[in-house]
Amino acid sequence: MSSDADLSLDRASLHAAYAAGRLRPEQVVALIHRRIATLGDPGIFIHLVPETQATATAAALPAFDPARYPLWGLPVAMKDNIDIEGLPTTAGCPGFAYVAKATAPAVLGLLDAGAVLIGKTNLDQFATGLVGVRTPYPVPRNAFDPARVPGGSSSGSAVAVAQGLATLSLGTDTAGSGRVPAALNNLVGLKPSLGAVSSRGVVPACRTLDCVSVFALSVEDAWAGFEAIAGEDQADPFSRPIAPQEPRLAPPIRRLGVPRRPELDDEAGRTAWAAAVQRLSALGVVVEEVDLAEFHAVARLLYEGPWVAERAAAVGEFALARPDAVHPVTRDILAGASRFSAVDAFRGLYLLAELRRRTEPMWSRVDALAVPSVPCFPTLADLAADPLGPNARLGTYTNFVNLLDLAALAVPGPFRPDGLPAGLTLIGPRGSDAALAAFGARFQAAAQPRLGATTARRAA
């Protein structure tokens, strides 16, 4: 077996080692626990499956058959607002915690495909935030710079994969929580079309917008995770059928729209974005500058409009009854819901419908959008000085996606000159998930072979 530091947990590497008999899943579980101890970051996991239990699960897997069990022996982690039978679900709030009576269908999809659960991960409380620091637990450390935010709300899920503690992890994405932490930790973040993955068994943030998302080291691994969890769920009223897809058969992306005036807050970010756009052009697509003003108007609705009240509909009663148990910033956000009436909610829906109609012509001009995943890379000190401003900035290119019923894929790109990760997000109409994945895999292979924060490189 390779040394602890050298072994990559990407699916191709693990399955090659399993097939050759050089490695067993039980050894991978032991290796991950050694890595956790060495890393010394107490903020990643809220609940770890005991090593003996995870080892027993790994040992009990059926014979290696990646055709039947495409995630065989792959270690996975789950954001702790997703239910797993017999384990506590905290949603980042100890006072809210309960022991789940059933396992969420998305989790079952991974486990039925042969994955091994390592633990449940930290998050911005009640999945409200894009920074990853709104938690009563220790804040997960950004995988590249502990002075920077890890990104949220799926902070622990992203850092776990970036640090080589899981092959895949599940997060959730309402405003960008499956994409922002991916960008800030050099990962792929797959945000499916709304309803393509069941959200049953997930503590809701905005139930009409919530998605279960996938973090992975590569687009191929993220797609394997998506295939395992996708599917209509008749018991979930927000589940919607989506046609079976396969990236290699998807319509090719030939025209990409990029922001005419990209919003980027520092020179390092602008340099990385320029390199990413250059790489896009080198892949043979037509890159066209477009005006995203209408998309940004939609984005502002998420926190400036009545969708804040939908967050209060999910956990507001608990927050009112136990304000002492709620993170101060989260409590203030939920309290803001009271300023919206039912009339405001309908007016918000009408405005969203108007803006959606005004954005629709974009999809006759381009096959997809390519945008910076994030416009800034805040420090922890920035958040201490201003808990709301940097969080709002991080949603510049993410907040509008679910409101407009779009699919998105965050992909690592050329690094910034300061050594921090950067990337872009591909965005397309509902159902374009496979096309985004096919192009995203090409871009990742050309732009940045490094996998997460590990020393492993992406195979050519």
177 in catalytic set: yes
Chain mean position to CA 217: 12
CB 163 within 8 A of CB 44: yes
Q: Which residues of 257-286 are buried (b: 16+ CB within 10 A; e: fewer)?
A: bbbeebbbeeebbbbbbebbbebbeeeebe
Helices 293-304 and 342-359, packing angle to 10 deg: 160
8, 169, 177, 198: the active-site residue: 177
Q: What residues form DSSP beta bridges with 214?
A: 170, 190
User: Between vectors from CA 392 to CA 43 and to CA 425, what angle results, nearest 5°?
Assistant: 80
| Per-residue tokens: 141 | 């450390």
Q: What is the DSSP string of 330-363?
A: HHHHHHGGGG--HHHHHHHHHHHHHHHHHHTTHH
Instruction: Report the SS3 class of residue 383.
Output: helix
CA dihedral 208, 214, 218, 221 (to 10 degrees): -120
List the Cα angle 347/349/351 in 5-degree steps. 70
Give the integer Cα–Cα distance in Å for 109 and 231: 9
- Burial zone of 420 (CB within 10 Å; 0-12 exposed, 13-18 middle, 19+ buried): middle
Q: Is 153 a catalytic residue?
A: yes
Q: Which of 8, 13, 79, 199 is catalytic?
A: 79
**HEC secondary structure over 123-171:** CCHHHCCCCCCCCCCCCCCCCCCCCECCCCCCHHHHHHHHCCCCCEEEE
Q: Do residues 158 and 116 lie in contact, with contact meaning Cβ atoms separated by under 8 Å?
A: no
CA 158, 164, 167, 169: dihedral to nearest 10 degrees? -20
Tokens of 66: 């990646």
- The dihedrals phi and psi of 302, each to the nearest 5 degrees, come to -65, -40
Q: Which member of 153, 169, 193, 373 is catalytic? A: 153
DSSP code for 197: B
Cβ–Cβ < 8 Å for 168, 76: yes
Cα torsion at 76, 238, 432, 351 (round to 10°)?
-130
What amino acid positions are annotated as catalytic residues?
79, 153, 177
